[in-house]
Structure 1
Amino acid sequence: MMPLTPMSLIRRLAQLSPRAKMVVMVGGDAVCLPLCMLLAVALRLGSWEDALETALLMQVGLALLALPVMAIAGLYRAVVRYIDLSVLAAASAALAVVVLIVYVIAGMLQMQVLPRSSLLIFWFIAFAYVVSSRFFARTLLRRSIRPGTRARVRTAIYGAGDAGVQLAQAMHFSTEYKAVCFIDDRRDRQAMTIDNLKVYPPSSIDEAVVRHDVSQIVVAIPSASANQKRAIIERVEATGLPVKILPGLVEMVDGNPAVADIRQVDVADLLGRDVVAPDPGLFARNIAGKVVLVTGAGGSIGSELCRQILSQRPRRLVLVDHSEFALYSIEHELLASAQGVPLVPCLGSVLDATLLIEVMKREGVQTVYHAAAYKHVPIVEANVQQGLRNNVFGTYNVAKAAHEARVETCVLISTDKAVRPTNVMGASKRVAELVFQAAALRAPGTVFAMVRFGNVLGSSGSVVPLFRRQIQAGGPITITHPDIIRYFMLIPEAAQLVIQAGAMARGGEVFVLDMGEPVRIADLARSMIRLSGLSEKTAENPGGDIEIKAVGLRPGEKLFEELLIGDNVVPSGHPRILCARERHIDPSLLDKMLGVLRQACDGGDTEAMLRQVRNLVPEFRPADEVNAEVAGSLARR
């Protein structure tokens, strides 16, 4: 049998049931409060002998009267391990009530046995006992849960505000993290000690890391803007330590920072884009109380459109997708949040024109979001016929069905790769835009519009999850070219802007989403390496952890993307949406040109297909030619 040490006794107490712990607290108070009363009387009379001879039983009874009052005040329901300064107010009020009751009773019965001033002394002594005993017990219990052998991660908290201090306090009894210091930009906090931790200025991060043997940094400024967070993250990632972040208060359910809220820094934190809340009027205009159809409902953009649409309470939501698994997955997910909105899953391809017309007429569809498309550049480049059929003629079928079913609004989800395309996928999406532009001219009863934007984080083709997997595997990270840049946007933001752009449409507009500043993919890869607490392996640093390797541009891929073909762009009234009116083809001529393209596709003649796509999209040029011009321009800088 192991000897009973003070720490083992504390651990046993910590493992007691809540009811047993309450009994221990009440028992301790039942012994100590009478002693507090005896001390108060002794101080008033000047000796222990006089106190013991002055109505001892009455002293005990009056002291024990505090027990039910403190129980009513909730002092015995509080979990000691998490007790805070609110115990001061509760203890003060409870003991004041006891003293007041005794004063009233003594006055009514004209009791002269005990000096009434001793009751005031009792209040001070009992208050000091109750508060100090609880905080002493809290300290012992928190120490008891700390592991004896497992080292906790020594953490520097960037941000000594309310969130950072609460996080540090939470770490005091965490089995994973140990807060060792603060870092803060505010001069009035620097060089101070908060919660027993020193606050350093950002200029002294390296000193703090060495002095406190810091293993990771947590950014705990949830109120900071996206740009401020990005600047902070770029500042601390230079230490080479893993960097994590405390999410914004909106993301936290109760708004109180906790260790469990700490998450990895996401690439979204590096974009520096502040969230712009949707305009309620625009957001609901084409959805609330209406029948809405989404093609490609199981894809990255389509599924997020469905989630956003459900939040606006449509009369019915029709889901169209050619993948049975994708359709099942999105329907199963949406059922949990549908709140009575009927969901109509429709298994089929946009190449089935009859199906589209039948579904739109049967369901009485009023708004269509056409997100179905083949969008992976190398795959479409290797499968020209299927890429053109799906992206061009699938879009043609959607536009025709929307016109015949008298749909009110039909919105095409386009891409920045449609601007001066260098690949079949981008060219096919530009032809799809031409189809919608022609539909707007020939079908004034339906508002046709297009929304063009760049890459979205978290989509099936995003580089971010690929880079993360490659880092976890020990590298290398593969990029196509050291100078390649891309625009990025979060999927929820893109979906919200698509819905609002469609609501502003009058017919034939090409809406362009503000994608912010373009991101160099190589810099993105380096940031992800540093934020993981690793270093890049280079010729100058052969001992680094992860190598970045350029594997060459893929077929049809260009170094940078654009969002506008011309300069004819005007504000839309929304800060993140621009409106462009670009070249279109007369509907009758477009029909003839599409007829030639259809014949080439039906005959499987790839050369004829590409030749006709170039006739439709004169700005379609080979990627090698465009990239050579860009590379030459970069070399001259």
Structure 2
Amino acid sequence: MVLRVRNMSRIWKRVILVVFDTVALAFALSASFALRYGLWNPPNTLDQLLIIMTGPMVAIPIFIRLGLYRAVIRYLPERAMWTILQAVTLSTVCWVLVVFLSEMAGRGVVPRSVPLLYWAISFLLIGGSRFLAKRLLWASAGAKFRENPIVIYGAGETGVQLAYAIRRDSSQYVLAFVDDNASLHGRDVAGIRVYPPSSLPTLISQYGVKEVVLSMPSLSSTQRQALVAKIGGQGARIRTLPPIGELISGRYLISQIREIDIDELLGRSSVPADRTLLRDMIEGKIIMVTGAGGSIGSELCRLIVKWSPQRLVLFEANEFALYQIERELSALKSHSIVPVLGSITDDANVRYTLNQHKVQVVFHAAAHKHVPLVEANVIEGIRNNVFGTKTVVEAAADFGVESFVLISSDKAVRPTNVMGATKRWAELIVQQKAVEVSRANGSQRFCAVRFGNVLGSNGSVVPLFKEQIAKGGPITLTDAEMTRYFMSIHEASELIIQAASLSRGGDVFLLDMGEPVLIKDLAENMVRLAGASIRDQSNPDGDIQIVITGKRPGEKMYEELFYDDTTASPTLHPKILRAAGDIASGTPIADALLDLSSALQQRDEANARSILFTQIRDSDHAEGNKS
């Protein structure tokens, strides 16, 4: 029977409500007269019947007008009781007016207590019936979900909407609200008790809560970080609603709870992308991305296809990575996607690809970036990062590429490892080519964009920490005082393209990475988000231990973006700076490249390393003295 009622059409459900209300209101009037006279007598005259029937006749149109039959009983909020109270009160007043006019016409007298009794009984019947129906018809549907209790942090409007969404179609149920507002503590909101944050450990331990959902999507990253630090590490996973802008735009539904991205806790202030800069750089252009299957390369490709390029050439040495990004982008079926399998050190293939597709813009993201691996494979690191860049730069210049953009790294600043040194060489190669093009009065633009770590990229600490947390630890940390700059892959990709659009040729752009982040803080935040606690001397019974392993070869304690941050100049974009100096002061590296090539051919690692760092010290001294 219950299932049959649930499955009825909305029209029939409304008909049932109207019929019920008609009967209930007639009964309420009859009961009011019976209570007044102390005797139950059904109406036996036309006048009595008319008085009884005027109740429903007056009330039903008012109920319709106030929307009592538009509300879905299953999702009826507690605040709907106020609307029902208004409807019943208004209908009672109107009934009294009708009765008064009837009395003037000689239809009899209605005792003054009857309207009050009618109002009270009507309210109980109309309001009570709806909430009783909601409980009886749908309580059994939610009973099976009682094994997955969650707590919602924030008992505001968003939290209430989330609670209703979970009640409708989730395999979980809301055990409690937790809120900082002391005036709400101990009260029920949407039928759910509100507790202070101090009660959270008790709720987790006594009721088996496995998840706390933050229902405050407008929180700043600083507030969110403080909140995670306060409630994390108590055995429950922390999740959140999407940002309020994404909820309003319809990108997410209120019920689409998601994991908190670690970049939400970094305290970075984002600046909306300049759509003009993006459009000018991409729209209608033939673009090639080297390293298109890597972390930065693939995100660049995803961003590029959104801005209607004429063609996008994916140049990638890893077959599986190329297959994945080509399949993903081709699914859009709105642009010409050309996959090219090859290495940037293959001069013939690079030149053929640029010429065959008439490439106008090159984003050079291909490189070996893993510091310890490149440190252990010096020859291959130099061959790919230095001479691979040289190959692509020279081919781009020869075939008239309009814009060439090197994706560099903060490790190129005063490098202490081979990977950083090869990236600095790549910058010098790009600047040297810009000098040559400028002297030839060419219009081609060659620039580099330097920035720090991107969250979630291949080989970065975030995926490593996630894997270690999933295994129950320990988390390996090289040094408790080590810091790094971080930004999201998407933000980095947007800024790279905008910086390229600002290029005059020979520029080294620096992306504003905000404040450096302690890697230890990053690890602790990730542990808290996973619902675990840190095991240390102050908490020996914690879940996950952080182990200090010591610095690896070539690793720096602190990365830098600038040689001298006082000489960096601003650009039209507040998050993009231009390094000091101009292309005319580029350091000649032709002889050093010949020496480096000879060392590679002889596989003389010691000599190659020596040449690599000697040349960089000279160029670094020159850049550091620019103003």
Q: Please give the TM-score of this superposition, normalised by the length of structure 2.
A: 0.82
Taking the aligned partners of 1:425 and 1:583, their CA distance within structure 2 comes to 25
> Could you tell me which residue of structure 1 aligns to residue 616 of structure 2?
617
Q: Deviations over 1:391-447 (max 9, x none)?
A: 111111221122122111111000011111111111001000000001111123211
RMSD of the TM alignment (CA)? 4.2
TM-fit CA distance, 1:159: 3.1
CA contact (8 A) 1:74 1:90 kept: no
Give the 3-state SS of the residue equivalent to 1:547 in structure 2: strand
In 1, Cα distance between equivalents of 2:145 and 2:391: 67
3-state SS of paired residue (2:22): helix
State whether residues 314 and 339 of structure 2, in contact with CA within 8 Å, keep that contact through their aligned partners in structure 1.
yes
| Structure 2 residue matching 1:549: 3-state secondary structure | strand
What whole-Å deviation, never above 9, does each CA across 1:93-145 have from its counterpart, x for those lacking one? Answer: 99999x99xx99xx9xxx99999999999999767644432222223345323
Contact 2:150–2:172 (CA under 8 A) maintained in structure 1: no
Displacement of 1:179: 4.2
Q: Does 1:595 align with 2:594?
A: yes
Q: Which residue matches 1:528?
A: 526
Tell me the residue number matched to 2:624. Answer: none
Aligned to 2:74: 81
The 3 A distance-change label for structure 1 pair 86 and 489 is same
Deviations 1:24-73 (A, max 9, x none): 77446535523423543775897763634338998779959999998999
Q: Which residue number in structure 1 is paired with residue 360 of structure 2? A: 366
Mark the CA change 1:199 to 1:148 in structure 2 (over 3 Å): closer, same or farther: closer
Counterpart residue number, 1:560: 558
**Structure 1 pair 430/25, CA: closer, same or farther in 2 (3 Å)?**
same
CA distance in 1, matches of 2:115, 2:187: 41
3-state SS in 2 of match to 1:317: strand
What residue number does 2:232 align with? 237
Q: Deviations over 1:228-259 (max 9, x none)?
A: 32233333337675433222123447769978
Deviation at 1:199, TM superposition (A): 6.0
In the TM superposition, 1:94-493 aligns within 5 A as 129-147=125-143, 150-153=146-149, 155=151, 157-170=152-165, 175-184=171-180, 194-195=189-190, 205-206=197-198, 209-210=201-202, 215=209, 217-237=212-232, 242-252=237-247, 260-338=255-333, 340-444=334-438, 445-493=443-491
Is the alpha carbon distance of 1:319 and 1:124 closer, same or farther for their aligned partners in structure 2, counting shifts above 3 Å?
farther
What SS does the aligned partner of 1:467 have?
Answer: helix
> In the aligned structure 2, how far is the partner of 1:256 from the partner of 1:179?
27
- Number of aligned positions between the proteins: 599
Asked if the contact 2:24–2:125 (Cα under 8 Å) also holds between the matched residues in 1, the reply is no
- Distance between the aligned counterparts of 2:573 and 2:586, measured in 1? 30
Amino acid at match of 2:222: N
Residues 14, 144 of structure 1: 8 Å contact kept = no
Query: What is the alpha-carbon distance in structure 1 between the residues aligned to residue 382 and residue 44 of structure 2?
Result: 101
- Which secondary structure does the structure 1 equivalent of 2:41 belong to? helix
Work out whether residues 350 and 398 of structure 1, in 8 Å CA contact, stay in contact via their aligned partners in 2: yes
How far apart in 1 are the matches of 2:318 and 2:325?
A: 11
Amino acid in structure 1 at the alignment position of 2:382: L
AA paired with 1:434?
A: L
SS of 1:478's equivalent in the other structure is: strand
Equivalent position of 2:493 in the other structure:
495
- Matched residue type, 2:322: L
Q: C-alpha separation between the residues in 2 aligned to 1:479 and 1:115?
A: 89
Q: Which residue type is aligned with residue 335 of structure 2?
A: V
Contact 2:145 2:173 in 1 (8 A): no
- 1:124–1:420 Cα change, 3 Å: same
Paired residues of 2:291 and 2:365 also in contact (CA < 8 A): yes
Instruction: Name which of structure 1's ranges 278-287 and 135-144 shifts more when overlaid on structure 2.
Output: 135-144
Task: Tell me the amino acid that sits aligned with residue 73 of structure 2.
Answer: V
TM-score by length of 1: 0.81
**Partner residue of 1:37?**
26
Cα deviation, residue 548, structure 1? 1.2
Counterpart residue type for residue 612 of structure 2: V
Contact 2:153–2:159 (8 Å) recurs in 1: yes
Relative to structure 1, is the Cα distance of residues 30 and 537 closer, same or farther in structure 2, using a 3 angstrom cutoff? same
Three-state SS of the structure 2 residue aligned to 1:492 is helix
Letter in 1 for 2:135: T
CA offsets 1:240-281 (integer angstroms, 9 cap, x no match): 754332221234477699784333333212201133210111
Partners of 2:20 and 2:149 lie apart in 1 by 42
Whether 1:578 and 2:577 are equivalent positions in the alignment is: yes
Counterparts of 1:489 and 1:206, CA distance in 2: 33
User: Does residue 18 of the first structure (1) align with residue 7 of the second (2)?
Assistant: yes
2: CA distance between counterparts of 1:382 and 1:276? Answer: 39
SS in 1 for 2:617: coil
1:250 counterpart SS class: helix
The residue type paired with residue 410 of structure 1 is: F
d(CA) in 2 for partners of 1:427, 1:286: 29
CA distance in 1, matches of 2:158, 2:184: 14
The 2-side partners of 1:492 and 1:603 are apart by 41
What SS does the aligned partner of 2:373 have? Answer: helix
Query: 1:535 Cα shift?
Result: 2.6
CA distance in 2: counterparts of 1:254 and 1:112, whole angstroms: 62
**In structure 1, C-alpha distance between the alignment counterparts of 2:351 and 2:525, rounded to whole Å:** 48
Percentage of matched positions with identical amino acids: 40
Task: Give the direction of change, closer, same or farther, for the CA distance of 1:160–1:353 in structure 2 (3 Å limit).
Answer: same
- Quick one: structure 1 residues 56 and 387, their matched pair in 2 at CA, closer, same or farther if it must change by over 3 Å? farther
User: Which of 535, 541, 544 is 1:543 aligned to?
Assistant: 541
Distance (whole Å) between structure 1 residues aligned to residue 395 and residue 57 of structure 2: 83
Distance in 2, Cα, partners of 1:206 & 1:62: 52
The one-letter amino acid of 2:29's match is A
CA contact (8 A) 2:449 2:509 kept: yes
Checking the alignment, whether the CA contact within 8 Å between 1:487 and 1:518 is kept in structure 2 is yes
CA contact (8 A) 2:475 2:547 kept: yes
| 8 Å Cα contact 1:319/1:346 also seen in 2 | yes
How far apart in 2 are the matches of 1:367 and 1:412?
11
SS of aligned partner of 2:545: strand
Distance 1:256 1:348 in 2: 37
CA distance in 2, matches of 1:358, 1:175: 56
Judge conservation of contact 1:427–1:620 (CA < 8 Å) in 2. no
Shift of residue 285, structure 1, vs aligned partner: 1.4
Aligned residues of 1:13 and 1:21 also touching (Cα < 8 A): no
1:583-636 CA distance string (max 9 Å, x none): 979779422221221122122121221122123212799xxxxxxxxxxxxxxx
Is contact 2:507–2:582 with CA below 8 Å preserved after alignment? Answer: no
Stretch moving more, 60-69 or 457-466: 60-69
Q: 1:217 to 1:392 in 2, by over 3 A?
A: same
Tell me how far apart the structure 1 counterparts of residues 355 and 116 of structure 2 sit (CA, whole Å): 83
Contact 2:434–2:583 (Cα < 8 Å) also in 1? no
State the distance in 1 between where 2:84 and 2:348 align.
73
Flag the 1:70–1:611 CA change in 2: closer, same or farther, 3 A.
Answer: same
